[in-house]
Chain A
Amino acid sequence: MSRAVRFAPLALFVLLVVSLIWRLSTPVDPTVKSRMVGKLVPDLVVPAAFPGQPARPLRNASCGPVVINFFASWCVPCIAEAKKLAELKRQGVPIVGIAVRDRPEDVADFLARNGNPYAEIGSDPQSKVQIAFGSSGVPETFVIDPYCTIRHQHIGAIDEGDVPTIRKQWEGLRK
């Protein structure tokens, strides 16, 4: 049996152990990032959250820069996030909200309790818009540039440290 054959199992095992050590030291990140960052916003028309208001096509003459926030009345972290979104609104950042899997009355209730930071609110009862964005949960926030391209994705609730980041991202996209 040649030396190569005899030592091969050991060599392969060393490789395996090295990868396992790597994996133990870099914990698994279960978030699924959207691949739509850098691509055009989906060509969808999002119905309004409240009846009687017009639907809004995502791609139009004045795409952005704008911040799109996916939220829901049943989403617990969204409650804390609402305050940070209000802060962003105070700083002049326009935010479009899209309520995922929500009824109008529940959305209204949520906004009444937690404040309404949104310039407009759309409805996504079957997660179609969410899936088209490559988003995998709520809350998630996207920053869109004036050319209808998704430039940034923020997964999870926005906290103190994220407010200036998003503000800068939005500012940087203004013509």
Chain B
Amino acid sequence: MRWLAALLLSLSAVALRADSNLPPAYWSDRQLPDPRQEAQAQALMAELRCLVCQGQSIADSDAELAGDMRDLVRRRIAAGERPAAIRSWLIRRYGSWISYRPTAEPAAWPLWLAPLALLALGALLIRRRIRLRGKA
């Protein structure tokens, strides 16, 4: 089910739409010199959704805006800002949609409660199937 043109066109292809004449921002395609910071930056970039190519993270997207956002993330992490703060800052501007990691807002609680709820439900359904030792 993954084989039609649209699939490939969006992911690996850079549609030759109107693009600016400027080269990519400095930190959009360069790694930070400190490997710890770079790892933090990459982890964050993988969790931020690209606003242009909406099925990708900014880490994978070829869109210019994605490159600029990568530049922004790296600069801020290099300046010492924590990834969570950068994510919140972006969420305040674009809404929770931009974060692939569901936030702590009430709308997302069912997601986090679901695993426990499902396990509990399952345990309830099978409780009569298993004879625990000691019970008749």
What is the interface of chain A, defined by CB distance below 8 A to chain B? 5, 30, 32-36, 72, 74-76, 100-103, 106, 125-128, 130-134, 136-137
Given A32-B94, A131-B72, answer yes or no on A137-B52 (Cβ-Cβ < 8 Å).
yes
Asked if A35 and B65 make an inter-chain contact with CB atoms under 8 angstroms apart, the answer reads no
Within 8 A of A (CB), among B15-67: 18-22, 25, 51-52, 54, 64-65
The reply to whether B54 and A5 form a contact with Cβ atoms under 8 Å apart is no
Contact A32/B95 with A126-B25, A126-B71, A137-B51 known, Cβ cut-off 8 Å: yes
Q: How many residues of B contact A (CB 8 A)?
A: 24
Q: Which chain A residues lie closer than 8 Å to B25 at the CB level?
A: 125-127
Known pairs A33-B95, A126-B71; A136 contacts B22 (CB<8 A): no
A93–B107 alpha-carbon span in the complex (Å): 40
Across the interface, name the chain A residue whose C-beta is closest to B25: A126
Contact A128 B68 (CB under 8 A): yes
Known contacts A33-B95, A34-B93: A136-B19 contact under CB 8 Å: no
Let me know if B100 is at the binding interface, CB within 8 A.
no
Chain B residues, Cβ within 8 Å of A5: 125
A-B contact count (CB 8 A): 66
Contacts of A136 in B (CB 8 A): 51-52, 65, 94
Q: Known: A5-B125, A126-B71. Contact between A103 and B95, CB under 8 A?
A: no
- Find B22's partner among A32, A125, A131 (CB 8 Å cutoff): A125
Given A101-B64, A137-B65, A128 and B21 touching (CB < 8 A)?
no
Alpha-carbon separation in the docked complex, A75 to B21 (Å): 11
Docked-complex contact A106 and B21, CB < 8 angstroms: yes
Distance (whole angstroms) from the CB of A2 to the closest CB of chain B:
10
Inter-chain contact A134/B18, CB cutoff 8 Å:
no
How far is A102 from B21 in the complex, measured between Cα atoms in Å? 7
Bound form: Cα–Cα A30–B97 in Å = 11
Expressed in whole angstroms, the Cα–Cα distance for A125 and B71 within the complex equals 12
A36–B91 Cα distance when bound, in Å, is: 10
Measured CA separation A137–B63 after assembly (Å): 11
- Does chain A have a CB within 8 A of B127? no
A132–B90 Cα distance when bound, in Å, is 8
Quick one: closest A residue to B28, CB to CB?
A126
| 10 further contact pairs, Cβ within 8 A, besides A36-B92, A125-B22, A131-B72 | A32-B95, A35-B94, A74-B20, A76-B18, A101-B64, A126-B25, A126-B72, A133-B93, A137-B52, A137-B65
Known A-B contacts A74-B21, A126-B25, A137-B52; the reply to A32 vs B68 at CB < 8 A is no
